[in-house]
């Protein structure tokens, strides 16, 4: 410890003081530091060479970030018998890109669905492709076709999908995908953002990696941007961490801390989101100005059976196709006053989005429409408010 009596006041101002902590904090502290001190040069060498564990630089790891990462991994693997690990990233998109660039090399292919979130599709085609990694789109619900592609294209190294899909709510059978991937030695990654581990646990169904945009339900309050990569096979762990630290796609302590606060109410929120969404879906399904409702909780929905097999409830996301022209649909959305127009999902309040003019704007129109993302499609992230207020706003707008 530095002797304060032997330094000037200006130096005293600069130097860190002895930490004045007597008891354990009840809440996780925010470690707002870019680097960490070594006790000696030998101590630093041992940490850098991997002889001992320790924090050195927050791009490599940070106590706040690492604590929340592991907490999310433990939730994702809860009751599965798996020992999972997690890495928080700067966003959901960086979680996807980090997995892809960790696992694949030039010449490798990704097999995925054609109704992905628009940003993911765009990243695969415009960014990942520049590394010589090709993306193949198909209907992952047609199992025989998927197996044929895997049989005939041995360059496929990653099977990537989201279920339910954004924004069509189409479900992919996770068990079938995991079985086929293992048969052909292919890595699997599932975007579990819509469900969270409270509703769906892909690791337990044989998936290698789960990613989330923690910005959405895990945080739940719309005040942070981050993502997480969760895996359970130790042989991939170092690859993920190496790519993460060298690309600099790591999360910061403040966003990690906000996620930690949000997680505390996650089960309560997901229950209420699901209950409200079911009521809204039932209301919309009977409305004369609504052509179709995409919600897996509806018994007549085409993906109800698959969803019921792998999801504990049906979540808070739905979409519906309104009757009318693009102009009429946009006018209808503008009449919403209780629901908020915002390009995100998973917050505590109800959010509305028009995919064709926002999230899927840069996806080819033919691809959009072939997957049910028409000009009339409206996506709703149902909040935890009084459901009667949500329905009243929709009723007024749909007149």
In the annotation, is 269 catalytic? no
CA distances from 303 to 27, 192, 203, 250, 286 (A): 41, 17, 21, 36, 19
Q: Is 66 a residue of the active site? A: no
Q: Is the dihedral of CA 394, 167, 321, 317 positive or negative?
A: negative
Instruction: Give CA–CA dist 320/305, Å, rounded.
Output: 19
388 vs 3: CA distance, rounded Å: 65
Catalytic site includes residue 87? no
Q: List the catalytic residue out of 216, 269, 272, 379.
A: 216
| Cross-strand bridge partners of residue 57 | 35
Catalytic annotation present for 191: yes
Spatial strand order in the sheet of 340-341:
290-294, 317-322, 377-381, 351-353, 340-341
Distances from the Cα of 161 to the Cα of 106, 135, 370, angstroms: 21, 12, 18
Count of other CB atoms within 10 angstroms of residue 385: 16
Which is nearest to 114 in space by CA: 149, 77, 141, 78?
Answer: 141
Single out the catalytic residue among 173, 191, 347, 393.
191
Q: Choose the catalytic residue: 43, 46, 59, 245.
A: 59
Catalytic residue among 60, 87, 117, 295, which? 117
Q: How far is CA 216 from CA 31, 46, 224, 328, in A?
A: 23, 38, 9, 29
Catalytic residues: 59, 117, 191, 216
């Amino acid at each position: 410890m530095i002797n304060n009596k032997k330094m000037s006041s200006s130096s005293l101002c600069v130097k860190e003081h002895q930490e004045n902590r007597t008891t354990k904090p009840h809440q996780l502290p925010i470690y707002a530091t870019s680097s960490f001190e070594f006790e000696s040069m030998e101590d630093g060498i041992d940490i850098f060479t991997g002889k001992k564990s320790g924090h050195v630089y927050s791009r490599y790891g940070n106590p706040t970030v690492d604590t929340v990462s592991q907490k999310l991994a433990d939730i994702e693997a809860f009751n599965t018998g798996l020992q999972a690990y997690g890495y928080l990233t700067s966003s959901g998109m960086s979680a996807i890109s980090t997995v892809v660039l960790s696992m694949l090399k030039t010449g490798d292919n990704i097999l995925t669905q054609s109704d992905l979130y628009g940003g993911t599709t765009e990243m695969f085609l415009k960014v990942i492709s520049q590394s010589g990694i090709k993306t193949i789109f198909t209907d992952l619900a047609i199992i025989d076709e998927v197996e044929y592609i895997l049989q005939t294209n041995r360059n496929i190294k990653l099977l990537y999908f989201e279920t339910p899909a954004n924004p069509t709510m189409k479900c992919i059978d996770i068990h079938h995908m995991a079985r086929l991937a293992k048969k052909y030695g292919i890595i699997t990654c599932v975007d579990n953002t819509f469900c969270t581990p409270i509703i769906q646990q892909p690791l337990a169904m044989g998936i290698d990696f789960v990613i989330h945009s923690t910005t959405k339900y895990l945080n739940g309050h719309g005040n942070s941007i981050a993502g997480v990569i969760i895996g359970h096979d130790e042989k991939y762990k170092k690859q993920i961490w190496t790519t993460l630290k060298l690309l600099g796609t790591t999360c910061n302590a403040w966003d990690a801390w906000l996620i930690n606060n949000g997680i505390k109410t996650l089960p309560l929120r997901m229950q209420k989101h699901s209950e409200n969404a079911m009521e809204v879906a039932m209301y919309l399904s009977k409305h004369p100005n609504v052509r179709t409702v995409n919600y897996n909780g509806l018994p007549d929905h085409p993906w109800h059976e698959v969803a019921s097999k792998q999801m504990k409830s049906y979540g808070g996301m739905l979409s519906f196709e309104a009757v009318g022209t693009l102009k009429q649909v946009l006018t209808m959305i503008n009449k919403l006053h209780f629901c908020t127009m915002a390009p995100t999902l998973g917050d505590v309040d109800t959010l509305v989005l028009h995919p064709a003019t926002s999230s899927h704007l840069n996806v080819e129109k033919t691809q959009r429409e072939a997957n049910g993302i028409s000009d009339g499609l409206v996506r709703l992230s149902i909040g935890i408010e009084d459901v009667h207020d949500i329905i009243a706003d929709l009723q007024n707008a749909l007149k």
